[in-house]
Amino acid sequence: MNDARDGLRDVGDSSASSLAPSVFLVKVERGVMKNNNYVVRDPSTAQAVLVDPAWEIETLQETLERTQSHLSGILVTHTHSDHIDLARPLAEFYNCPIWMSREEAAFSGFQSRHLIAIDERPWRVGAMRIEPILTPGHTPGCVCFLIGDNLFTGDVLFAEGCGICFELDEAHAMYDSLQMLKTRVPADTHVFPGHTYIRPPGQKLGDIMRYNIYLQFTDRDSFAAYRLRKGQGGPKVLDFR
Ligand SMILES: [Fe+2]
């Protein structure tokens, strides 16, 4: 797996059509925290979107330059600071929209003249069809984005787990969201999460469904009991200022 620091290349499916969107992984860090940012580029127009930009603006700008991408907008899966930190400065610099779910915008109070609050209606950037899929649980307005056969999941679904929840209703919502993804998204879709723990980004959903314990539950309460078990803390971060 290469990234923006050790030889940038498309991390998408090499067998895919040359017209399929290209996915470029950009690993960013702040202290002990590590995030995956993604540039998703339409090869036919060079238009691109950035997913959850945070922390390293120069790295992201260099990636856009090296991939000869024209930034057409920013996709925000949710408003935790490690996913939205650079949305506003980049939107100002490139004069492009920030797409976020209507629920997340209302929940967070995020404001920007570039903000476009979305529902589940798809839209296009160049030839890329961007399909938002509402997946509440980690936050009330979490959204995943399906672009071609690539699903960007933020903190909803990781290869080995799912995002933290703090309350019973949040865990129930997360269960419903994960169950919905399992049936709605094709199994050969590549999953690109906001964080990597063991397996690299781009695992197929069908494979994740076999080894991710959070996708094995068959009822909300069992899932919630496991998701809310002790020792699963972590900061409840909501700071985009
Ligand atoms: Fe988060």
Q: At what angle do helices 168-184 and 220-227 cross, to 10 degrees?
A: 120
- The model's pLDDT over 104-137, given as tens digits with 9 standing for 90+, comes to 999 999 999 999 999 999 999 999 999 999 999 9
> In angstroms, what is the span from residue 19 Cα to ligand 1's centroid?
32
> In angstroms, what is the span from residue 186 Cα to ligand 1's centroid?
24
> In angstroms, what is the span from residue 44 Cα to ligand 1's centroid?
33
What's this model's pTM, rounded to 2 decimal places?
0.91
Tell me the CA end-to-end span of the chain in Å, nearest whole number.
Answer: 33
> Of 82, 73, 142, 139, nearest to 112 (Cα)?
73
> In angstroms, what is the span from residue 77 Cα to ligand 1's centroid?
9
Domain boundaries along the sequence of the chain: 22-227
> In angstroms, what is the span from residue 79 Cα to ligand 1's centroid?
7
Q: 22-227 maps to which CATH number?
A: 3.60.15.10
Give me the tens of pLDDT residue by residue for the chain, a chain 241 residues long. 434 433 344 555 444 567 899 999 999 999 989 999 999 999 999 999 999 999 999 999 999 999 999 999 999 999 999 999 999 999 999 999 999 999 999 999 999 999 999 999 999 999 999 999 999 999 999 999 999 999 999 999 999 999 999 999 999 999 999 999 999 999 999 999 999 989 999 999 999 999 999 999 999 999 999 999 988 765 444 333 3
> In angstroms, what is the span from residue 234 Cα to ligand 1's centroid?
10
> In angstroms, what is the span from residue 126 Cα to ligand 1's centroid?
29
DSSP string, the chain: ---TTS---B-S-TTS-TTSPEEEEEEEEETTEEEEEEEEE-TTT-EEEEES--S-HHHHHHHHHHTT-EEEEEE-S--SHHHHTTHHHHHHHHT--EEEEHHHHHHH----TTEEEE-S--EEETTEEEEEEE--SSSTT-EEEEETTEEEEETTB-SS-B----SHHHHHHHHHHHHHHHHHS-TTPEEEES--SSSPTTEEHHHHHHH-GGGS--SHHHHHHHHT-TT----------
> In angstroms, what is the span from residue 95 Cα to ligand 1's centroid?
26
> In angstroms, what is the span from residue 18 Cα to ligand 1's centroid?
33
> In angstroms, what is the span from residue 143 Cα to ligand 1's centroid?
11
